[in-house]
Amino acid sequence: MGKVVIIEGRKFEGEQEIAAANADKAAIDKIKSQMDHMSLSDLKLLSKKLHSGRINFGTKLGDDFIEDIDSIIESMEKKESLSEEKSEIRTTQRKTDNRETKKTEDPDIDAQARKILEKQEKTRKAVLFASLFVAAACILYIVIYNVTRMRSARTTDLLSGIREQATNEALLGNTGNSSPDDGQVVIHYTDEEETPEILPEYLDIYNKNKRLIGWLEIADINGEAFISYPVMQTVDNEYYLTHGFNQENDVNGCIFMDCNCDAIKPSDNLILYGHHMRSGRMFGNLVRYEDESFYKTHRIIKFDTIYEHGEYEVMFAFRTSLKYENDISFKYYQFIDANGPEEFASYMNEMASMSLYDTGVTAVWGDHLLTLSTCDYQEDNGRFAVVARRID
């Protein structure tokens, strides 16, 4: 049984992962010790370095810290804005008080006139304060929106270009002329001479990054894809949590296949992971399968490995959570290959019992499955999964 520790509210397993988490915590604590003396501009510079990858972390503790820094900056900006508003209100109040003093000293102004003027001044100040608050809120929203859009624009353009290129390659029958990049990591679970041919439409993209293992697409009812991404695979399940297709640091990460799955064999169950991004990117929209009406219009999932085309029909959609290693309850993320018909049937029964609705789709020993997995924020360490059966 592997060692399990909780660091900053997150679970880490295995000596290597724990060591990486401790290293991140030490680095974060060092930065935090210096933050008390940082101005808002200093914090913004620190945030820029974190988001650009100039300061890099190896675990999710880094993502949590970046979110904390952004929250602190947002809070400080709000305080500065409110401070400026209060200063303007105090200036207005002093001017008003001076006018009121002069009016009091003027014996020709009667009490009735002063009451009217006071009422008008209160109304004016209330309107001014409300207007300033609305303006500040609008400016803050625009800033946050533009920052978020800029962060994902580069990734969006890249993936759109990759997908367009794959489509053109397929239509033109281009088998690709780019020379492979031998520096990239590629996973093969069989001897090299047994590796099947790569599909022509993916060959050129594969030559740009040999960690490519396939392409996932779920079409929307209007024919456009609301999920359409390259799928990566490498020797661990950590790298593509924080890196994009071109190996750059990217908070969106990539969709990636479990490192223990074999696309050539293939495994009984191919498991794909992706971040649940609030922007909807990656698997941010996967939780829409909690609604049975959504499932009914999105039954089919297309997943091509780089070796063959594939279509899958959704069977189950369920919520669960990560389990401790010594927990004997069913762990869907450990189901990759069954030892026989009985174990396969047991896995199917477990997932059927967790499913949010009955699709009527079943699978038997010999069928091949596809599982899409992402985080679920309804509980700590929550997970949301969609499981589909390959259509022959």
pLDDT of residue 335: 95
pLDDT of residue 43: 79
Q: How far is CA 94 from CA 91, 101, 106, 335, in A?
A: 5, 10, 19, 72
Show the DSSP H helices in the chain as ranges.
15-35, 40-52, 60-105, 111-172, 200-208, 292-297, 341-354
Phi, psi dihedral angles at 7 (to 5 degrees): -125, 120
Mean pLDDT is lowest, of 12-21, 132-141, 309-318, 382-391, for: 132-141
CATH assignment of 182-390, among 3.30.70.890, 2.40.260.10, 3.10.105.10, 2.40.50.140: 2.40.260.10
Which residues neighbour 379 within 8 Å (Cβ) at sequence distance 6 or greater? 319, 321
Long-range contact pairs involving 159-166 (C-beta distance under 8 Å, separation at least 24) = 159/228, 159/229, 159/230, 159/245, 162/205, 162/230, 162/245, 163/215, 163/228, 165/204, 165/205, 166/201, 166/202, 166/204, 166/205, 166/215
Instruction: Report pTM.
Output: 0.56
Side-chain-side CA neighbours of 176 within 13 Å: the count stands at 19
* 31-89 residue pLDDT tens: 888 887 788 788 788 888 778 777 777 888 878 878 888 888 888 887 777 777 667 77
- The distance from CA 53 to its chain's CA centroid, rounded to whole angstroms, is 17
DSSP characters over 339-382: SSHHHHHHHHHHHHHH-SS-------BTB-EEEEEEEETTSTTE
* 366-383 residue pLDDT tens: 999 999 999 998 888 899
Q: Output the average pLDDT for the chain.
A: 80
Phi, psi dihedral angles at 287 (to 5 degrees): -65, -10
* 322-352 residue pLDDT tens: 888 888 889 999 999 999 999 999 999 999 9
Find the radius of gyration of the CA atoms of the chain: 28
- 128 in helix, strand or coil? helix
pLDDT of residue 383: 95
The DSSP call for residue 275 is: -
